[in-house]
């Protein structure tokens, strides 16, 4: 039996090596025929000896697993989106912000091509691929491991001793042009409709239920980022080079740049050369090379501060503006929408585009039947960027902006200094009411399972809900008679509403829909005021003095709680048991640091940076990202930039060591 096991393991190693040579190194060392013979031999041995089954065997790449419903998995480390830049001035501004945060005079960067595909997060433990999860909303995504295993450039097994024992590696699933065109030729030959573009086809492939169908598609995976707590590697470039050496397909186009000017030369080079690539790119990603500095610089609510995307000029087309309609948002904001003669743009048919506001229409002097130029803002949302005045009809009239709400016909208002017009009939305008409820039940707020946007409309139209507080009065007997409502669906709604009572205060605060209070602001307010009653009592000056809360937010919060209807809704939610106070973290050790603000900078011997920040919060202190007059202490470790020390001294901020911090909390 030992000989059989040894033969199986030898064949697996050999086939994995041939896969790597062919799909990663583009250097085949065996014919397809010989490879297939070895694969068949291995398959036969595995079938006859099931005790040696291995989920990461090369035989598992052919697929065959059927997945009806893809499991939702929470990411251990959030998958952030990147902020965008479009000029060298944007890059200089970005660099200056980072230099200010970490207090050094210069930084080194890595530049990578921005691949246009579907993001994936691969988790490896002890050398084996464990899970492959889509980006999803950044917080959680779909488990597509069975489908990902069919992509031959992704190693199912690596030598962890030569790299890391446990880590995540992120990349982009792409469909190279050659494979895409061959797929379309086959589809056309079979009388089927051709796929529109490689990106959407790659993304759609990941959610096919039959993994054997995925295996037939020539998908590839380009990897560009490793997430780990291990401090073995010091730079982004170094860790990617090490990943490449153990078998990951890390593109060779990655380049080290010593200055922003060198970064911009790289950008210009690939803007010219991108047509030579075998796959699509839509820009360049620039990252701070030092992993230590990445930790120092940190994240905003949406993006890493230490990385930015430089977007190439978007594809632009011209078409006819047929009409303008007006949409009402949940806050009452009115957005004009251009209805266009359908035109293909970046692989999709575009029929509508955003016009933003009245100022935008006036700026371009847009008129009905004009020939307009359209491009995709950030490659996602189509927008009008100009008018071909030479093709304008002589009788074209300037557009008169809407004066009344398209939904409830209330007169629109526009405050001085505000770009948007608003419908102020917030409690009588159907679109606003439904929008508020849809926001309340969404994944990032109350996350009520069983209710989607269409269900909200159904419940509203049947007079079962008129606001989000009404959700908590729903009964099974009321829901069951509704059109297309099965027993299980109705039960899921009731269960989802009940479960939402456990959602923490900061998300409830975001859910109730105070204008200008997004997820980050809501979290700050919840943390500062501890409960809803303290927040309700806070006046304009008190709110304005909270860190990072400006006049506009303070004014909006005061206005929201002055509204009697809003107060009635909050009282109803309170009575239904929703969380309206912070549940104090039971890891709190003391209040010794209460009222003190800390900046943590450098490398430490007794704490990891995250543990040090946690210790500050556990003892009542507050972490802030940059030095200011409001900072009380700078905890200085090794490799802290001299400029940061100089700034702290100039602001008369007390600089302490790791040991002195330990004395403070002991």
Q: What is the pLDDT of residues 465-518, one digit of tens each?
A: 999 999 999 999 999 999 889 999 999 999 999 999 999 999 999 999 998 898
**Three-class SS of residue 402?**
coil
> Is the pLDDT higher at 235 or at 70?
235
What number is the average pLDDT over the span 537-554?
Answer: 89
Q: What is the pLDDT of residues 424-474, one digit of tens each?
A: 998 899 999 999 999 999 988 999 988 999 999 999 999 999 999 999 999
> Is the pLDDT higher at 25 or at 482?
482
Q: What is the pLDDT of residues 636-663, one digit of tens each?
A: 988 787 778 888 898 999 999 999 999 9
Q: Say if strands 654-656 and 633-636 run parallel, antiparallel, or are unpaired.
A: parallel
Q: What pLDDT sits at residue 537?
A: 95
HSE on the CB side for 579, CA within 13 Å?
22
Active site residues per annotation:
114
d(Cα 43, Cα 29) in Å, to the nearest integer? 21
Q: What are phi and psi of 257, to 5 degrees?
A: -130, 135
Lowest mean pLDDT among 117-131, 140-154, 615-629: 615-629
Residue 124 burial (CB < 10 Å; 0-12/13-18/19+)? Answer: buried
**Three-class SS of residue 42?**
helix
Q: In DSSP terms, which residues pair with 223 in a beta bridge?
A: 171
Q: What pLDDT sits at residue 586?
A: 57
- Provide the CATH number for the domain formed by 597-665 in this structure: 3.40.50.10190
Q: What pLDDT sits at residue 24?
A: 63
For residue 427, give the nearest of 470, 378, 484, 467 by alpha carbon: 467
Torsion angle of alpha carbons 354, 356, 357, 362, nearest 10°? -70
Q: Which residues of 483-506 are buried (b: 16+ CB within 10 A; e: fewer)?
A: eeeeeeebebbbebbeebeebebb
Q: Hey, what CATH topology would domain 84-302 get? A: D-amino Acid Aminotransferase; Chain A, domain 1 (3.30.470)
Q: What pLDDT sits at residue 132?
A: 95
* Token code pair at residue 149: 């295993």
56 has a pLDDT exceeding 80: no
Other residues' Cβ atoms within 10 Å of the Cβ of residue 395: 7
Report the CATH architecture of 505-575: Orthogonal Bundle (1.10)
Q: What pLDDT sits at residue 546?
A: 86
Torsion angle of alpha carbons 448, 454, 457, 458, nearest 10°? -100
Q: How confident is residue 19, by pLDDT bands cut at 50, 70 and 90?
A: confident
* Token code pair at residue 78: 């959030």
What number is the average pLDDT over the span 27-44?
Answer: 75
191 has a pLDDT exceeding 70: yes
**Three-class SS of residue 286?**
strand
What number is the average pLDDT over the span 583-594?
Answer: 75
Top CATH class of 316-401 equals mainly beta
Q: What is the pLDDT of residues 268-286, one digit of tens each?
A: 999 999 889 999 898 999 9
Q: What pLDDT sits at residue 344?
A: 86
Other residues' Cβ atoms within 10 Å of the Cβ of residue 358: 18
Mean pLDDT of the chain: 89
Q: How do the domains of the chain map onto residue ranges?
A: 2-62, 84-302, 316-401, 430-502, 505-575, 597-665
Q: Do 270 and 254 touch, CB atoms closer than 8 A? A: no
378 has a pLDDT exceeding 70: no
What number is the average pLDDT over the span 616-635?
Answer: 88
Quickly tell me which residue has 């860190």 as its tokens. Answer: 547
- Provide the CATH number for the domain formed by 430-502 in this structure: 1.10.150.20
- Three-state SS across 93-151? HHHHHHHHHHCCCCCCEEEEEEECCEEEEEEEECCEEEEEEECCCCCEEEECHHHHCCC
End-to-end CA distance of the chain: 60
Distances in whole angstroms, Cα of residue 116 to Cα of each of 55, 376, 406, 649: 30, 14, 38, 46
Q: What pLDDT sits at residue 494?
A: 95
Q: What pLDDT sits at residue 88?
A: 93
- Provide the CATH number for the domain formed by 2-62 in this structure: 1.10.287.610
Q: In DSSP terms, which residues pair with 168 in a beta bridge?
A: 123, 227
* Token code pair at residue 26: 């583009």
The DSSP secondary-structure symbol of 470 reads G
Q: What pLDDT sits at residue 25?
A: 67
547 has a pLDDT exceeding 80: no
Domains 430-502 and 505-575 share a fold: yes
Lowest mean pLDDT among 136-140, 327-331, 586-590: 586-590
Give the rounded distance of the alpha carbon of 78 from its chain centre: 8
Q: How confident is residue 625, by pLDDT bands cut at 50, 70 and 90?
A: confident
HSE on the CB side for 508, CA within 13 Å?
26
């Amino acid at each position: 039996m030992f000989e059989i096991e040894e033969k199986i393991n030898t064949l697996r190693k050999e086939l994995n090596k041939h896969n790597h040579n062919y799909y990663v190194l583009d250097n085949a060392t065996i014919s397809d025929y010989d490879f297939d013979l070895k694969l068949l031999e291995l398959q036969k041995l595995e079938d006859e000896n099931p005790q040696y089954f291995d989920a990461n065997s090369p035989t598992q790449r052919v697929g065959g697993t059927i997945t009806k419903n893809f499991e939702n998995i929470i990411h251990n480390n959030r998958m952030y989106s990147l902020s965008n830049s479009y000029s060298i001035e944007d890059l200089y501004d970005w660099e200056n912000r980072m230099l200010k945060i970490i207090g050094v005079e210069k930084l080194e960067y890595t530049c990578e091509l921005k691949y246009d595909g579907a993001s994936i997060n691969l988790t490896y433990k002890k050398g084996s691929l464990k899970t492959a999860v889509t980006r999803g909303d950044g917080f959680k995504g779909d488990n597509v491991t069975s489908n990902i295993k069919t992509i031959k450039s992704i190693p199912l097994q690596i030598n962890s001793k030569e790299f890391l024992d446990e880590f995540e590696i992120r990349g982009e699933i792409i469909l190279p042009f050659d494979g895409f065109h061959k797929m379309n030729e086959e589809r056309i030959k079979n009388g089927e409709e051709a796929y529109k573009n490689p990106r959407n086809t790659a993304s759609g492939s990941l959610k096919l239920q039959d993994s054997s169908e995925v295996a037939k598609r020539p998908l590839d995976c380009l990897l560009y980022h490793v997430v780990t707590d291990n401090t073995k590697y010091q730079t982004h470039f170094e860790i990617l080079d090490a990943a490449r050496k153990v078998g990951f397909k890390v593109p060779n186009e990655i380049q080290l740049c010593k200055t922003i000017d060198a970064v911009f030369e790289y950008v210009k080079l690939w803007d010219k050369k991108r047509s030579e690539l075998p796959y699509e790119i839509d820009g360049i990603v620039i990252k701070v090379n030092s992993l230590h500095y990445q930790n120092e610089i940190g994240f905003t609510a949406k993006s890493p501060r230490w990385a930015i995307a430089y977007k190439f000029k978007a594809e632009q087309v011209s078409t006819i503006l047929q009409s303008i309609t007006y949409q009402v948002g949940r806050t009452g904001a009115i957005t004009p929408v251009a209805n266009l003669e359908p035109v293909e743009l970046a692989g999709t048919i575009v029929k509508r585009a955003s016009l933003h506001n009245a100022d935008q229409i006036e700026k371009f002097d847009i008129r009905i039947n004009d020939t307009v130029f359209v491009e995709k803002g950030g490659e996602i949302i189509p927008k009008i960027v100009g008018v071909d005045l030479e093709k304008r009809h002589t009788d074209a009239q300037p557009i008169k902006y809407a004066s009344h709400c398209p939904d409830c016909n209330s007169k629109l208002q526009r405050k001085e200094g505000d770009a948007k017009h608003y419908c102020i009939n917030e409690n009588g305008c159907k679109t606003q009411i439904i929008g508020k409820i849809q926001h309340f039940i969404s994944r990032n707020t109350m996350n009520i399972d069983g209710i989607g946007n269409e269900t909200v409309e159904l419940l509203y139209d049947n007079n079962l809900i008129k606001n989000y507080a009404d959700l908590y009065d729903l009964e099974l007997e009321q829901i069951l008679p509704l059109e297309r409502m099965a027993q299980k669906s109705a039960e899921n709604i009731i269960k989802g509403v009940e479960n939402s009572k456990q959602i923490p205060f900061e998300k409830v605060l975001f859910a109730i829909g105070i204008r200008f209070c997004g997820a980050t602001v809501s979290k700050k307010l919840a943390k500062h005021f501890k409960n809803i009653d303290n927040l309700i009592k806070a006046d304009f000056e008190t709110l304005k003095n909270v860190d990072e809360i400006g006049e506009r937010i303070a004014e909006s919060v005061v206005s929201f709680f002055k509204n009697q209807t809003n107060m009635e809704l909050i009282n109803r939610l309170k009575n239904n048991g929703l969380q309206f106070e912070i549940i104090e973290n039971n890891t709190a050790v003391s209040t010794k640091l209460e009222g003190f603000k800390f900046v943590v900078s450098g490398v430490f011997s007794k704490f990891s940076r995250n543990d040090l920040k946690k210790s500050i919060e556990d003892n009542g202190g507050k972490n802030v990202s940059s030095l200011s007059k409001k900072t009380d202490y700078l905890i200085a470790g090794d490799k802290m930039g001299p400029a940061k020390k100089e700034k702290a001294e100039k602001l008369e901020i007390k600089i302490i060591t790791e040991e002195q911090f330990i004395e403070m909390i002991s």
